[in-house]
Structure 1
Amino acid sequence: MPELTDLKSFLTAAHVDEEVFTLRPDYTALLLVADGIAPGASDAASEKLVHRAEEFGAALQQEQRVEEWEHIASWREAHRAFGAKPKRTRNSLEALTLRTESGLPRVNRLTDIYNAISVLHQIPLGGEDLNGYTGAPRLVRAKGDEPFDVKSGGEVITEYPKPGEVIWCDDLGGTCRRWNWRQGSRTQLTDETTQALFIMDALSPVGNKDLLAAAEDLVRHLRAFSPGLRSAHRVITAENATGISV
């Protein structure tokens, strides 16, 4: 189990490339690392939270179509800016919210919880197993040669992003494509995950306060079944206003 200083060092080394901020100066990322997570499959507590998120997301859609929401429109615009087609490859928040009426997926306790928090706080949120990382997380405009592993039919297939695509990566290659569209299999959470990285994204009108509220809620739910949980987070903006908190 790493020391808290190791978690902070991991966060300190995280980086958002200047080219990403040139694309969207209003972008803010909150990176949260958690250690001491009690691993496990979906359970009654995660099911209750997912059900609440389903009701919340479905109710929102009764008021207004998802694509008309200002924060969703911001992500669609950002994806178009690097050549993606937002109707074809929706950002993770939009895709999850649209699924609330028919039912969100049940994967494992960790994934179920962060999916629910994403919908309830209306923030794109990804979770990854720290043990799958080599080096620090970086958000960059892709060169096009970064290997990105996905599973299809039980087999691992390697894909590559298009040059200029916004991707999260580490020293081995891509970990999430098209900003917050699809996570890779190499760092995916499992029933055995005990150390995780959660990445929360925001574009105007969503800001720091919204990200911090979502992070606090996530930690609260993780600590409910992991009393020995240790966590730290870092906020990254174009102004480099960063901070690391326990």
Structure 2
Amino acid sequence: MPEKPSSAEQFLVDAQVDEAVFQLCPTYRTMLIVAEGLTPAPSNEVSDELVDAAEAHAKKLLAERPVEEIAHVAAWRDAYRAFGAKPQRTRNSLESLLRRAETGLPRVNALTDIYNAISVLHQVPLGGEDLAYYQGPARLVRAAGNEDFDVVANGVEMLEHPDAGEVVWRDDLGVTCRRWNWRQGRRTGLSDATESAFFIFDALDPMTDDAVHTAAGELADAFRQLGPHVRVTGRMVAAS
């Protein structure tokens, strides 16, 4: 069994983005956040206020232009095409949330609601994982095509495999998120019991580093309201 990281800081230091990903999209950057000491909670005043603001923001944006013409959504559609995905069929997580926001974002629990709301408010794909179920470091790579990806389809647990060349997040046991930021796996998914979580902000031009840091700061501020002992650690990874 792979060893667990000794600390959140070590987990973030060990996280990697493969050079092949930067060759595909040179402006790609990711802000990685670990939040520890979370107190699991249902949707509450903190998360509801953020979700309400996110829904209003999305409606305003979509009144001005179609979702596919929003700058960061369009950039991610181009990135998907670069590794062979069809963005009209497999939408990045930001676009998926924006399309749902007009009729109401999902309300799951405080942790999930907060990170979904931050994604919409700051127009950035943002993934959340339960750190306790990671084995080895997080890596963003181009898949060989034989990696395991565990999902539930029609109520049945099953293994899938990414396409060769697909951009995926993975750990030592398999894929944790397919097609960069399209679909998260079951094994590392957040739950109502999550106390330590790992978050991935995916940024491309025209999103600036300052905008990414602002979004991460607001996420951290919101999480600190979920428990008296919350500790947030972060690291930005970009092409050298």
TM-score by length of 1: 0.93
Matches within 5 A, 1:8-157: 8-157=9-158
2: CA distance between counterparts of 1:163 and 1:121? 31
2: CA distance between counterparts of 1:10 and 1:56? 34
Partner residue of 1:242? none
1: CA distance between counterparts of 2:118 and 2:97? 11
1: CA distance between counterparts of 2:189 and 2:109? 11
Partner residue of 1:180? 181
2: CA distance between counterparts of 1:36 and 1:155? 32
Deviation at 1:44, TM superposition (A): 3.1
Partner residue of 2:211? 210
Spell out structure 1 runs of 4+ moving beyond 6 A.
none
2: CA distance between counterparts of 1:227 and 1:214? 22
Structure 1 segments unaligned to the other structure (5+ residues): 240-246
Which amino acid is 2:31 matched to?
L
**Matched-pair contact (CA < 8 Å) for 2:126–2:201:** yes
Deviation at 1:48, TM superposition (A): 2.2
Aligned residues: 236
2: CA distance between counterparts of 1:136 and 1:194? 19
**Matched-pair contact (CA < 8 Å) for 1:131–1:195:** yes
Deviation at 1:5, TM superposition (A): 6.8
**Matched-pair contact (CA < 8 Å) for 1:93–1:125:** yes
Deviation at 1:225, TM superposition (A): 2.0
Deviation at 1:238, TM superposition (A): 0.6
**Matched-pair contact (CA < 8 Å) for 2:118–2:218:** yes
Deviation at 1:41, TM superposition (A): 1.9
CA deviation map 1:60-115 (0-9, x unaligned): 10011111122211100100010100010110001101111111111221111100
**Matched-pair contact (CA < 8 Å) for 1:28–1:207:** no
Moved more, 167-176 or 205-214: 205-214
Which amino acid is 2:68 matched to?
E
1: CA distance between counterparts of 2:64 and 2:38? 37
Moved more, 136-145 or 35-44: 35-44
Partner residue of 2:198? 197
2: CA distance between counterparts of 1:181 and 1:95? 9
Partner residue of 2:225? 224
Deviation at 1:153, TM superposition (A): 3.2
**Matched-pair contact (CA < 8 Å) for 2:29–2:238:** yes
**Matched-pair contact (CA < 8 Å) for 1:177–1:183:** yes
1: CA distance between counterparts of 2:6 and 2:178? 29
Q: Percent identity?
A: 54
Which amino acid is 1:59 matched to?
K
Residue 160 (structure 1) aligned with residue 161 (structure 2) = yes
CA deviation map 1:95-151 (0-9, x unaligned): 101111111111221111100000001010000000110001000000001100112
**Matched-pair contact (CA < 8 Å) for 2:43–2:110:** yes
1: CA distance between counterparts of 2:228 and 2:43? 18
Q: State the SS of the aligned residue for 1:236.
A: strand
1: CA distance between counterparts of 2:133 and 2:6? 19
2: CA distance between counterparts of 1:9 and 1:117? 26
Which amino acid is 1:14 matched to?
A
Which amino acid is 2:64 matched to?
E
TM-score by length of 2: 0.96
